[in-house]
Chain A
Amino acid sequence: MIKRKDSPSAQGDNRKRRFEKEALLHLDAVYRSALRMTKEPTEAEDLVQETFLKAYRFFDRFESGTNCKAWLLKIMTNIYITEYHRKSREPSGLTYDEGEVFSLYEQIEGKEGKRAATDPEKRFFDRVMDVEVKKAIEDLPQEFREVVVLSLLEDLSYQEIAEALGIQLGTVKSRLFRGRKLLQKNLWEYAKAKGIVSDSPER
């Protein structure tokens, strides 16, 4: 056993209690994001441990009252980027200004709309399965997945995401835009594969 019998100092005890109350509170959120980023439960758990341990060491630098979850996610993405996913950091090769940007709305309203009698949107959303929503995120290229997870799932602001990932605000916005479109495209493709929808012949 590594643990020693000496009891931790009172100061450490205090710090630990505060840490539990303010930081460990967000364990589930950090874990979920780690899962979406790594796509691997064991790797996610490792990453989460690293994150909280580092957060604990630097807890003095955290300003009480500010967004602790954003702070933790920043630490997490930082560790993730620098230590876990070095190899896949190369840009996916997708550019932001590809001529045609996929619009799920137009697909559903324009093409499916003609076929379905009532509310094609409801029909579509009702048939999307939970597991597909998750898959749609995990299938995103790395650089889009990061911003999508932090924004759509964890509700971080553009500024917080920019700080977490060390990128420009404008980059956050364009990746998020593109990320959403790719998500829509992914979901549309899954639906197509299941035969829920199909591309119209005139396309």
Chain B
Amino acid sequence: MNCSEAQRLLYDYLNGELEQLDLSRVESHLKVCSSCLRTFEFERRFQSLFVDRIPEETAPPELRSAILDRIDQLEQPRTSFPLSRKRPFFRPALVLAPIGLVVVFLAIVLFTSDANRKEPLDILLQNHIRAESSTEGLIYSSSDPQSVSSHLERELGFQTSLAAYARSGAILKGGEVLQICNCKVGLAYFSTHEVGISLFICRQGELTCPQMETVSYRNREYHFASIREFNLLVWEEEGLKFIAVSRHRREALLDFADRRA
């Protein structure tokens, strides 16, 4: 083995990735070549900096307990949630990134009065803008988006497109199912830094609710409802049903919808 071959294998050697044959060839070269030996020693020393000199960081103890708590949650029998009880958004142990955590709502609207309407609503996220953060209202929480999503699906009885939403950068943190007039509304909580009004399109399904009032804004017709602290605006565009959900005031939602049109 010559020097250039040895140098080429230097990092593989230090990473312990050499096959026995190459390993012994490198080692015998190092026995006879002090120049290569020096560079090998140097690189080894350099490498050990990263093991020896980075201060031992240990995970905060509450992180461990938070994980264990959430595992306990996962192990709970999965039943439907009572809708009346108010629960804290995050338990203190889970509040690990409370600052700047913006909560976003995804509404999935389904008419429970129509038992046959079980096929997936085709819900697509279209757009979102900034909203203020929130600290309450979570009923279901999980760090695993899939489990939130499947929970909501179970509760609502149809497939959601939450994964499509998550692709836009938010992490699904939890959700809940509300009963409002004759509709079941699913709300999903996302953590993200830049989302606010969630807008969805339903390709199927009508949206009329006794509690919904009809609003006219700049020559267009909308349906508006307040569901607890959320405002919901529904309108039609070219045969598609749009749903915007937010904590924003009605005017903000109307303005948002109008700007889209």
Q: Which residues of A contact B (CB under 8 A)?
A: 1-4, 6, 8-9, 12-13, 16, 19-20, 24, 27-28, 30-32, 35, 42-43, 45-46, 48-50, 52-54, 56-57, 83, 86-87, 104-105, 108-109, 121, 125, 128, 130, 133-134, 137, 148, 151-153, 157-158, 173, 176-177, 180, 183-184
Contacts of A16 in B (CB 8 A): 68, 71-72, 75
Further 20 A-B residue pairs, CB within 8 A, beyond A46-B191, A184-B46: A1-B91, A2-B139, A3-B76, A8-B76, A27-B64, A45-B59, A45-B63, A46-B171, A49-B70, A50-B171, A53-B67, A53-B144, A109-B38, A121-B42, A125-B45, A130-B53, A151-B15, A157-B17, A158-B15, A176-B15
What is the size category of the interface that chain B forms with chain A?
A: 35 or more
Q: Closest CB-CB distance, A23 to chain B, in whole Å?
A: 10
Q: Closest CB-CB distance, A136 to chain B, in whole Å?
A: 8
Interface residue from A2, A30, A180 paired with B141 (Cβ < 8 Å): A2
What's the A-B contact tally at a CB cutoff of 8 Å? 147
Q: How far is the CA of A117 from the CA of B139 in the complex (A)?
A: 68
Q: Contact between A130 and B54 (Cβ–Cβ < 8 Å)? A: yes
The 9 closest A-B CB pairs, nearest first, are A12-B75, A8-B75, A31-B59, A42-B97, A53-B143, A45-B96, A152-B50, A133-B53, A50-B143
Q: How far is the CA of A125 from the CA of B50 in the complex (A)?
A: 12
Q: How far is the CA of A83 from the CA of B146 in the complex (A)?
A: 13
Q: How far is the CA of A13 from the CA of B144 in the complex (A)?
A: 20
- Is B211 close to A, CB under 8 A? no
Interface residue from B55, B74, B144 paired with A50 (Cβ < 8 Å): B144
Q: Contact between A49 and B45 (Cβ–Cβ < 8 Å)? A: no
- Is B39 close to A, CB under 8 A? yes
Interface residue from B49, B59, B63 paired with A128 (Cβ < 8 Å): B49
Q: Which residues of B contact A (CB under 8 A)?
A: 11-12, 15-17, 38-39, 42-43, 45-47, 49-51, 53-55, 57-60, 63-64, 66-77, 87-88, 91, 96-97, 99, 138-144, 146-147, 166, 169, 171, 191
Q: Closest CB-CB distance, B143 to chain A, in whole Å?
A: 4
The binding surface of chain A is classed by DSSP as helix
Write the chain B residue with the least CB distance to A86.
B169
Q: Contact between A52 and B67 (Cβ–Cβ < 8 Å)? A: yes
Q: How far is the CA of A104 from the CA of B157 in the complex (A)?
A: 62
